[in-house]
Amino acid sequence: MNSDVQLDAKGLNCPLPILKAKKTLKGMEAGKIIEIISTDPGSVADFEAFCRTTGNELLESSSSDGIFTYYIKKT
């Protein structure tokens, strides 16, 4: 999937990946997509909850070898 912005949150633990994503999304236009890469296993539930509460759309999430990748569309 293509993204407009990439955020490397590897090595950061909760809540830092969410806080960095929130700050980055704030500066983005509606309809743009951010790709977030994290190593925090707790980020799976965190980003699902984050999107539910903020109204942003979680387009895709995947994991491979301890790396979690999320694509979120700003609404």
Q: Which of 5, 10, 12, 14 is catalytic?
A: 14
Q: Would residue 51 show up in a list of annotated catalytic residues for this protein? A: no
Element (H, E) at 53: helix 43-54
> Average pLDDT of 43-63?
97
Could you count the other beta carbons within 10 Å of the beta carbon of residue 65? 5
The predicted structure's pLDDT at residue 37: 98
The predicted structure's pLDDT at residue 54: 96
Question: Using an 8 Å Cβ cutoff, are 48 and 72 in contact?
Answer: no
pLDDT in tens, 11-52: 999 899 999 999 999 999 999 999 999 999 999 999 999 999
Name the residue ranges covered by the structural domains of the chain: 5-73
Q: Report the alpha-carbon distance of residue 67 to residue 54 in Å, rounded.
A: 24
Provide the CB-side half-sphere exposure for 8 (13 A, CA).
1
Overall CATH class of domain 5-73: alpha beta
- Between the CA of residue 32 and those of 3, 11, 27, 39, what are the distances in Å? 8, 25, 10, 23
The predicted structure's pLDDT at residue 69: 98
> Average pLDDT of 52-71?
97
